[in-house]
Amino acid sequence: MEPAIQQLDIHSTSEAFEDYLERFEIWSMTKKDMKGDKIVAHFLTFIGQEAYSLLKTLAYPDKPISLPYTTLKELLLNHVKCTSFECRERAKFHKMIRQDNQKVKDFILELQRQAAKCNFDDQLHVQLRDRLIAGINIPGLEKELLRMPNCSFQDARTACINYEAVNELDIQSMKISNTLLSRHDELQSQGRSNLRSFNRDCYSRGNMKGGLTRNCKANNKVSETGLSILGLKNLKRLKVELSLLVSTENSDALLKDLIAVCAKCSGGMKIQPIKLQVQGDPVFLKRRIIPYGLREAVHKSLNDLCAKGIIEPVQSSAWGTPIVTPLKSDGKTPRICGDYRLTLNSRLLKQTCTTMEAEDILNRLHGSKVFSKVDLKDAYLQIPLDQSSSILTTINTPFGLFKYNFLPFGLSCSPAIFQEVMNKIVSDIEGVEVYQDDLIVHGADKVVHDQRLIALLRRLIEKNITVNPNKCSFSVSSFECLGYLVDGNGFRPDMKRLAPLTNAPSPKNITELRSLVGALQYYSRFIPNFSCRANCLFNILTSNLFKWGEEQESCLRSLLKFLQSDAVL
């Protein structure tokens, strides 16, 4: 007789173990006199040889048959259950995103199952609502959910399920329509094959024999008002010019909605995780002492990063990097950074990436009148890391070891990786330039600019990339870029950036002079014959002997004065 339930898989998760035990207990309730030794005998028979061997080891020196069922159950559960970190379960929850082929109901069920492990308490429904909106992965539906006032989790759940049901009806309708269309074409084909031929001339395509003019294929046109047979992609392949009529009001409203959705994205980019290439032995350095005045703030920042899924606690690691905690611009919040100069950076293989020079970007902006600058929030921390690479980034803090699940700041390869990833994401969108963590959108007029910005925001939503609206500027006629002020007339030095240079005191050593000359060289394109004009300054740098006199002072002041002249500004 075959067992009533399958054998126990000892390699499964703790949840699977609990489910198996519950099913066995339910089965035993259906049997009479299933108590004491009898229930133990059945249990040991059902679990299989592999699970019995494990249980025999756990029960040693006792034999499993001599122990009550409750003890056997406790032994198994204690074996498979590991210490559960609340922040780890929350990190998994906040990274959940619906897959393209996944049903909405299935995704909501997974959300609820994971939320049960997160101990959200009275914030449960708020967290479920926010994660459902951010992870539903249907841009049109996200916009509708964000527009709903006082939206609860139940409201969002109902809206998502209804949206999916309506779309399924549309797909079925489309299939029926396509069937009717194919039948219509078939009937037309049969009709043409049965046409009578007459020995008459047809002048539709010249003097041709063999049929009435009304039956000529040149006149066989079907006039219908249905959908276009060719889609937008095919029209683009055929290089058909499309004239789009865009309403400014509708465009602004759509942009506002898209920006709001981009700001809500979380969980990291939807791209292939990055794998770091290292050579050499692991390095583990002891943690550094944090000032007591910052300990509480640093602890809070670590907890916030855990809750967002950016970092995750680990019990041990062959790699360990101490942290530095510079304050953010608000002067209160510490930024958690690993000092990878001493550990990982020297062992990382160099990343190659085609980066655009500042002059290349500025030249590509030529001819544009309307601009937007899109700032990506915590840019590097949105790029997922491969599991094998994640452990390499382990940081050693006074509060334990944590590994990064996303690309951290401080790695020597982070800028190149980020540039390469963003280039691939936006390379096919015209009028979008990538420079560090900023995306620059430009167009000859507002209509063209808005079309490009909408395309970019939709791509960012598709890839689940988070935008920081507070640091963005949209649809402006001029903006600051790379130390220059850019507008429809070109680019020129930004006076705000130029003021510290023009007001700088005379240098007192070689180091100060080198800094001044380097800054002047950055704007040298605006100074005719710069090399000749600054020759006496270059002579000091090449001789490495600092000697400052009236000639050098006059040379420096003339160069600074020229940068402030009307010819430049």
Q: Is the pLDDT of residue 453 over 50?
A: yes
**DSSP symbol at 487:** E
Instruction: Give 190's Cβ-side CA count (13 Å radius).
Output: 6
Q: pLDDT exceeding 90 applies to what percent of the chain?
A: 17
Same domain, 296 and 377: yes
**Is 2 part of any domain?**
no
**Is 230 part of any domain?**
no
Same domain, 161 and 98: yes
Same domain, 445 and 298: yes
The residue-averaged pLDDT of 1-27 equals 73
Choose between 502 and 532: higher pLDDT.
532
What's the pLDDT band for 246 if we cut at 50, 70, 90?
very low
Please give the residue range of the domain that contains residue 146: 86-166
**Is 380 part of any domain?**
yes
Q: How many CB atoms lie within 10 A of CB 534?
A: 20
Instruction: Give 499's Cβ-side CA count (13 Å radius).
Output: 2
Question: What's 368-428 look like in SS3?
Answer: CCEEEEEEECCHHHHCEECHHHHHHHCEEECCEEEEECECCCCCCCHHHHHHHHHHHHHCC
- Please report the pLDDT score of residue 173 as a whole number: 45
The residue-averaged pLDDT of 403-413 equals 91
**Is 520 part of any domain?**
yes
**Is 191 part of any domain?**
no
Same domain, 508 and 444: no
Same domain, 409 and 499: no
Same domain, 349 and 361: yes
Same domain, 430 and 332: yes
The residue-averaged pLDDT of 320-331 equals 87
Choose between 178 and 155: higher pLDDT.
155
Choose between 395 and 214: higher pLDDT.
395
- Please report the pLDDT score of residue 483 as a whole number: 78
What's the pLDDT band for 222 if we cut at 50, 70, 90?
low
Where among 58, 80, 102 does a domain terminate?
80
- Please report the pLDDT score of residue 176 as a whole number: 44
Same domain, 74 and 153: no
**Is 96 part of any domain?**
yes
340 is written with which tokens? 């990878």
DSSP-derived secondary structure for 62-112: S-GGGS-HHHHHHHHHHHH--PPPHHHHHHHHHT----TT--HHHHHHHHH
- Please report the pLDDT score of residue 244 as a whole number: 47
Q: Is the pLDDT of residue 200 over 60?
A: no
**Is 140 part of any domain?**
yes
| d(C-alpha 492, C-alpha 367), whole Å | 15
Same domain, 153 and 59: no
Same domain, 373 and 432: yes
- Total number of domains in the chain: 4
Is 0.75 surpassed by the pTM of this model?
no
- Please report the pLDDT score of residue 177 as a whole number: 46
Where among 490, 512, 540 does a domain terminate?
490
Q: Is the pLDDT of residue 3 over 60?
A: no
| d(C-alpha 392, C-alpha 46), whole Å | 43
Residue at 379: amino acid letter: A
What's the pLDDT band for 566 if we cut at 50, 70, 90?
low
Q: Is the pLDDT of residue 197 over 50?
A: no
Where among 166, 185, 216 does a domain terminate?
166
Residue at 61: amino acid letter: P
| d(C-alpha 98, C-alpha 306), whole Å | 21
Q: Pick the range with the lowest mean pLDDT from 231-235, 368-372, 393-397.
A: 231-235
Look over the chain and give the mean of its residue pLDDT values, rounded to a whole number. 80
Residue at 422: amino acid letter: M
Same domain, 486 and 346: yes
Q: pLDDT tens, 467-487?
A: 999 888 898 988 888 778 888
| d(C-alpha 486, C-alpha 490), whole Å | 6
Same domain, 529 and 502: yes
What's the pLDDT band for 385 if we cut at 50, 70, 90?
very high
Q: Is the pLDDT of residue 526 over 90?
A: no
**Is 42 part of any domain?**
yes
Residue at 456: amino acid letter: L
